[in-house]
Amino acid sequence: MADSQYTATVRATGEGRNGGRVASDDGVLDAGLAVPKELGGAGGATNPEQLLAAGWAACFLGAVRRAASERTVRVRELAITAEVTLHHRGDDFSLSAALNVDISDVDQRTADELVAAAHTICPYSKATRDNIPVTLNATVA
């Protein structure tokens, strides 16, 4: 099978997170940006942390399903809640993340194993590995 690849192209304009816009080259994504109210901004629009969390949650869900499939484990219900936190101290900014996995039809040990395996599969997890603190939480529903 030949290698395949996909490149997402998104352009940010304006003032970045403070009143800017992001738009994909295919027009599917077109969103305003705002500093969250929690950080003293106006809120009312998305922000880079939400966009990262959305992409990571969707990708990680697929990675958990793949890990389950590879182990012939049947999972009916699965949900990922990704929390991406922006830390600010003085002039220094950093990120941390928590991936909270709600999974059905397995015991806690299997859930933990699937989540750990997914963390080795997911490209977002690979990209952030050893760069930001990541907490993995599996809850059996």
Residue 29 has pLDDT above 90, yes or no: yes
Q: Give the up-direction half-sphere exposure of residue 110: CA atoms within 13 A in the CB hemisphere.
A: 17
Task: For 51-96, write each residue's pLDDT tens digit.
Answer: 999 999 999 999 999 999 999 999 999 999 999 999 988 999 999 9
User: How far is residue 55 from each of residues 12, 52, 80, 126, 136, measured CA to CA in Å?
Assistant: 17, 5, 11, 13, 16
One-letter amino acid for residue 38 of the chain: E
What CATH superfamily classification does 48-140 receive?
Answer: K homology (KH) domain (3.30.300.20)
pLDDT of residue 1: 58
What confidence category does residue 4 fall into, taking pLDDT thresholds of 50, 70 and 90?
confident
| CATH code linked to domain 1-46 | 2.20.25.10
Is the per-residue pLDDT at 117 higher than 70? Answer: yes
- As given in the structure block, the two tokens for residue 88 are 């600010």
Going from N- to C-terminal start, the domains of the chain cover 1-46, 48-140
Q: What is the pLDDT of residues 9-22, one digit of tens each?
A: 999 999 989 999 99
Model pTM greater than 0.75?
A: yes
